[in-house]
Amino acid sequence: MSKTHVELDENGQDPNRWRTLFVIAIAQLMIVLDGSIVNIAIPNAKADLGITDANQQWVVTAYTLAFGSLLLLGGRIGDFIGRKRAFIIGLIGFAGASALGGIASTQELLFAARALQGVFGALLAPAALSITTVTFTIPKERARAFGVYGAISGGGAAIGLIAGGALTQYFSWRWCLAVNTPIAIVTALLAVVYVKDSKAEGKHSYDIPGVLTATAGLFALVYGFNQAARVGWGDRETISFLVAAVLLLAAFGLIEKKVKSPLLPLRVILERNRGGSYLGSLFVGAGLFAMFLFMSIYMQGVLGYSPLKSGFAFLPFTFGIIIGAGVASQLLPKIGPKPLMIPGLIIGGLAQLGLSRITPDTSYVTHVLPVFLILSFGIALVFIPVQSTALHHIGNQDAGVASAMINTSQQVGGSLGTALLNTVAATGTLNYLAANKDMGERLQPFALTHGFSLAFIAGSLFFFIGAIVLYFTINIGKESLVEIEGAVTH
């Protein structure tokens, strides 16, 4: 394996490791921001490009489909060609795709640019986490690095809403995409200097049948969930895609048992701590993604907030994540992951129940603000430990694909949760409208809020189920932060 020679400090560590973390943090923030920054820009983009109501979902879905379905492949590519190289290629490609979206003159070009962002994001995201994992080998430092990574992963969406609101309101919706271009280019240049390379040992080949079945299966699964949220679970297209997803992913499992160089070695997910972590990520994604969607609609559609004010209303969520990440990174090396993850999920579930009590007359300051702080603090207690347990005792050979599984599980969970909870919210709203026709002009906001309340109750169940799963699967303590097996970091 080709390695970049790096002079080590007196502790045998890369002296540039904190600069490396800074570079990774910028890249991760860009990826997370991109998932939410365009949401507020959609109405302006629709008006500018003539995007129909039926097609508006593709501004978001084109990105999430490409990103979610290609993450496993992106992680494996990074393992094979080198994580630094994959990271830089991902950044340059993301910069180009963002520029293309910023100058898009038609809806088709905008959707294609968003899909390209997802493709390069799927290469970039696993490489970023893998580099973090192999760069930080001292448990206390690794916990701190995961704390930074987790804070960005959890709080970036709220920052994206603010940035999207400001750029749309004061400049143009196009800057919600184009702003990534200079950031990605500068980050790539910094990566050339400060990030050192690592990759899987030995000979390797691509598992083409695995790539095809996994990518097609994840695409069908995410698309099926999106269709369920849009047109319902009984729709023929929804059912067709979900059935295809089950068949393709079952075929993928059989292929991975037999091929020599599997895309996703089953040893990665069958180890109980790693498998439990991926399930935990899935349930967190299921409960959290829909919350941002419903609360954004609630603040703009019910409370009458402007896009920018709505974005700022989410800012306390970021503060809670930062505080929780600081607490988790300090405690993780001392008490291990489980005593943080279980209470974190329970706190998150209780906070979701708190959100279920909102009405059109609810005060943001007295009710929404404290719940946001509690919810985000609890989520941070999960985000940071899950990065370590999901990569516990992973060999250098599999670091990239194991990192990709964290993102994959969150994406699938987010799609599943949004589809399920959107169905709960829509059904609750329709039932309320039918039962309270005499309410007059107050009916619509109360019906909408009632639907959201039911969705938050259902969303809390995802957190509580996640707590149960992690209680029975996580059986490691402080050793979750030890160096990955066989890691070659210099």
Split at pLDDT 50, 70, 90, the class of 459 is: very high
Per-residue confidence (pLDDT) for residue 7, from 0 to 100? 59
Split at pLDDT 50, 70, 90, the class of 375 is: very high
Q: Is the pLDDT of residue 342 over 90?
A: yes
Q: Is the pLDDT of residue 490 over 50?
A: no
Split at pLDDT 50, 70, 90, the class of 202 is: low
The 10s digit of each residue's pLDDT in 363-373 is: 888 889 999 99
Q: Is the pLDDT of residue 440 over 80?
A: no
Per-residue confidence (pLDDT) for residue 412, from 0 to 100? 79
Q: What is the mean pLDDT of residues 80-106?
A: 90
Per-residue confidence (pLDDT) for residue 485, from 0 to 100? 42
**pLDDT: is 144 or 27 the higher one?**
27
pLDDT above 90: percentage of residues in the chain = 20
For the chain, state the CA radius of gyration: 22
3-state SS string for the chain: CCCCCCCCCCCCCCCCHHHHHHHHHHHHHHHHHHHHCCCCCHHHHHHHHCCCCCCCCHHHHHHHHHHHHHHHHHHHHHHHHCHHHHHHHHHHHHHHHHHHHHCCCCHHHHHHHHHHHHHHHHHHHHHHHHHHHHHCCCHHHHHHHHHHHHHHHHHHHHHHHHHHHHHHHHCCCCHHHHCHHHHHHHHHHHHHHHCCCCCCCCCCCCCHHHHHHHHHHHHHHHHHHHHHHHHCCCCHHHHHHHHHHHHHHHHHHHHHHHCCCCCCCHHHHHCHHHHHHHHHHHHHHHHHHHHHHHHHHHHHHHCCCCHHHHHHHCHHHHHHHHHHHHHHHHHHHHHCCHHHHHHHHHHHHHHHHHHCCCCCCCCHHHHHHHHHHHHHHHHHHHHHHHHHHCCCCCCHHHHHHHHHHHHHHHHHHHHHHHHHHHHHHHHHHHHHHHHCHHHHHHHHHHHHHHHHHHHHHHHHHHHHHHHHHHHHHCCCCHHHHCCCCCCCCC
**Rounded to whole angstroms, how far apart are CA atoms 318 and 373?**
8
Burial of 261 (0-12, 13-18, 19+ CB in 10 A): middle
Q: Is the pLDDT of residue 1 over 60?
A: no
Which is nearest to 216 in space by CA: 261, 257, 195, 246? 246
Per-residue confidence (pLDDT) for residue 247, from 0 to 100? 95
**Rounded to whole angstroms, how far apart are CA atoms 449 and 298?**
7
| CB-CB contact of 430 with 296 (8 Å) | no
Per-residue confidence (pLDDT) for residue 328, from 0 to 100? 86
Site of tokens 């599984």: 405
Split at pLDDT 50, 70, 90, the class of 305 is: confident
Average pLDDT in the chain:
81
Split at pLDDT 50, 70, 90, the class of 487 is: very low
Split at pLDDT 50, 70, 90, the class of 56 is: low
Per-residue confidence (pLDDT) for residue 488, from 0 to 100? 38
Split at pLDDT 50, 70, 90, the class of 486 is: very low
Per-residue confidence (pLDDT) for residue 175, from 0 to 100? 87
CATH for 17-196+263-481 (1.10.240.10, 1.20.1250.20, 4.10.110.10, 3.30.110.40)? 1.20.1250.20
Q: What is the mean pLDDT of residues 145-149?
A: 74
**Rounded to whole angstroms, how far apart are CA atoms 234 and 175?**
38
**pLDDT: is 315 or 283 the higher one?**
283
Q: Is the pLDDT of residue 123 over 80?
A: yes
In the structure encoding, which two tokens stand for residue 356, read together?
Answer: 């279920």
Q: What is the mean pLDDT of residues 73-79?
A: 81
The 10s digit of each residue's pLDDT in 466-475 is: 999 999 998 8
Most confident of the ranges 262-266, 397-401, 468-472: 468-472
Q: Is the pLDDT of residue 359 over 60?
A: yes
Q: Is the pLDDT of residue 2 over 50?
A: no
Q: Tell me the C-alpha to C-alpha distance, in Å, between residue 271 and each of 24, 129, 337.
A: 27, 19, 16
Per-residue confidence (pLDDT) for residue 478, from 0 to 100? 66
Q: Is the pLDDT of residue 140 over 60?
A: yes
**Rounded to whole angstroms, how far apart are CA atoms 147 and 131?**
15
Q: Is the pLDDT of residue 113 over 50?
A: yes
| CB-CB contact of 480 with 389 (8 Å) | yes
**Rounded to whole angstroms, how far apart are CA atoms 268 and 257?**
12
Split at pLDDT 50, 70, 90, the class of 481 is: low
Per-residue confidence (pLDDT) for residue 450, from 0 to 100? 92
* Residue 106, phi then psi, degrees to nearest 5: -135, 160
Per-residue confidence (pLDDT) for residue 243, from 0 to 100? 94
Per-residue confidence (pLDDT) for residue 248, from 0 to 100? 94
Split at pLDDT 50, 70, 90, the class of 203 is: low
Q: Is the pLDDT of residue 78 over 90?
A: no
